[in-house]
A and B are shown apart, each in its own frame.
Chain A
Amino acid sequence: MIELGQHAQYIVGAWSGVTLVTLGLILWTLRDAANQKRRLEELESRGVRRRSAKTDSPS
């Protein structure tokens, strides 16, 4: 481990805080995206579609 001097706790604290918040932001964004995708798929599986959506009509 690199020697960070007498103020190591401030350096480690700053980097740890930024890592936690950044990871939290990434995870929150991914979770929200997955939730919306799931809700959209649930609606479409129940036959609720946009009017502009292509339908699987027999030819």
Chain B
Amino acid sequence: MAWSRFFIWPLAAISALFFALGVWFAFFNSPADYQMGDTVRIMYVHVPNAWLSQMVYGLMAVSAVGSLVWRHPMADVSMKAAAPQGAAFTAMALFTGALWGRPTWGTFWEWDGRMTSTLILFLIYLGLIALWRALEHQANGPRLIAIVTLVGAVNIPIIKFSVDWWNTLHQPASVFRADGPTMPGSILMPLFLMMFAFTFLFALLQTLRMRTEIERRRVRSLERRHVAEGATA
């Protein structure tokens, strides 16, 4: 991934710019919501993390297909690099959702479709991280992890459509809708700025983590060779 060095600084700069603009709009240039008041400002960190929690899993599912069909080692690297980030984004979505729920719904948590399926997503991420640690070096470990990743992908449409299929405390989709967002531009602006900021941050971290994972494999291979050469000398 020698090309990655050309992406890292531009991605970092773009992400930092979007974060600076997003924070400024979120706190100094956007109104309080007519119903939720200032708690709407939690949405500017909640929605980007919720979006990434699902998008990262989508990327892992695509990588899993690449691993199973083409047996491409970069697909394994991509899956392994993305899993801890997906877990972190999902944890932040759950945490901010709980803090947003208390003043608006009167409760931190409710076992409704959206929240429960997102919690399941978090547990799937933790399970996949554990599997990578346990099975990575076994012959068919990455293939097995790819299969488990694809099975877990069933949960993504469940999260997306849970607010339509079941009666939930969580509001229905208000940004990604066929007929367009239902929010005013003054609230959409900081929301999109923060979504771009977190998405570019993920692209940056994924590039860095994939490069590091390739180096880790190179180190492991060199250490094995060094030991083998030492044994035969």
Contacts and interface: CB of A to CB of B under 8 A. Distances in A.
Contacts of B100: 10, 14
B205 A25 contact: yes
A14 B99 contact: yes
A14 B201 contact: no
Contacts of B49: 18
A17 B91 CA distance: 10
Interface string A1-14: 01111111011011
B134 to A, nearest CB: 19
A54 interface: no
Contact of A36 (B27, B96, B212, B225): B212
A43 B226 contact: yes
Contacts of B37: 5-7
Contacts, number: 94
A37 B209 CA distance: 12
Interface string B33-51: 0000111011001100100
B21 interface: no
B20 interface: no
Interface in A3-59: 3-8, 10-11, 13-15, 17-18, 21-22, 24-26, 29-30, 32-33, 36-37, 39-40, 43, 46, 48-50
A44 B28 CA distance: 52
B39 A21 contact: no
Given A5-B38, A25-B85, A37-B215, A14 B95 contact: yes
- Give the secondary structure class of A's interface: helix
Contact of B103 (A2, A10, A15): A10
Nearest to A3: B38
Contact of A10 (B39, B92, B225): B39
B62 interface: no
A2 to B, nearest CB: 5
Nearest to A26: B205
Given A10-B102, A25-B205, A40 B95 contact: no
Given A5-B37, A7-B103, A29 B208 contact: yes
A40 B221 CA distance: 11
Interface in B171-224: 201, 205, 208-209, 211-212, 215-216, 218-219, 221-223
Interface of A: 2-8, 10-11, 13-15, 17-18, 21-22, 24-26, 29-30, 32-33, 36-37, 39-40, 43, 46, 48-50
